[in-house]
Amino acid sequence: MRLFIAVILEPALKQALLDSQAALKKRGFSGYYTREQNLHLTIGFIGEYPDPDAVLEAMETIPFQPFPLTLSGGIGSFGNLLWAGTEPCPEAEQYVKRLRHALAARGIPFDKKKFHPHITLLRNAESRQPFADIAIAKEAMTVRRISLMRSDIGRHGAQYTELDAVGYEEGRSS
């Protein structure tokens, strides 16, 4: 089972990202655009792992407090992958640090690359056109829950399914 831990985005953020994808398409970029229902912010990539309950248990050990998530207003790239960045958020970085510690303590594998918060817009981008000038609306949301997700690859690309979540309820954190 291919697992990851993510923030599911609110509609206003998704719309800002869809608008930027439309601008990329208008500029002639082709490749694999992330579908609206798959737009998310990965905070922990597990990969192939057979026990989602163990991952959820690790997630549940971390006290959670809501934190802000704001799009940074521009597009970046890792090679031919184009993404939308987010503004720095120390609370999110601390949560990721605690999450990684909880996963490691239970022997759950995860991607140990430096956390660089981004939302994938386009994979295998093909174009020689510039994109740095394409703006993304600086939409924001308050993250109130973190989701354990499963990724299934099919004929029509990836399908992401929320398995469970941990989050904040007024008056208590979990």
User: What is the average pLDDT score of the chain?
Assistant: 93
Classify burial at 56, counting beta carbons within 10 Å of its beta carbon; exposed 0-12, middle 13-18, buried 19 or more: middle
The CA distance from 30 to 129, in Å, is 11
Nearest to 74 by CA among 63, 85, 82: 85
Report whether 115 contacts 99 (CB < 8 A): no
Domain boundaries, the chain: 2-168
| Total-model pTM | 0.91
| Percentage with pLDDT > 70 across the chain | 97
Architecture in CATH for domain 2-168:
Alpha-Beta Complex (3.90)
Q: What mean pLDDT comes out for the span 153-163?
A: 88
End-to-end CA distance of the chain: 25
Nearest to 92 by CA among 138, 41, 58: 41
Q: What per-residue confidence (pLDDT) applies to 80?
A: 92
Q: What per-residue confidence (pLDDT) applies to 110?
A: 96
Classify burial at 146, counting beta carbons within 10 Å of its beta carbon; exposed 0-12, middle 13-18, buried 19 or more: buried
Digit-coded pLDDT (tens) for 16-61: 999 999 999 999 999 999 999 999 999 999 999 999 999 999 999 9
Digit-coded pLDDT (tens) for 112-130: 999 999 999 999 999 878 8
Report whether 52 contacts 3 (CB < 8 A): yes
Q: Would you say residue 173 has pLDDT above 50?
A: no
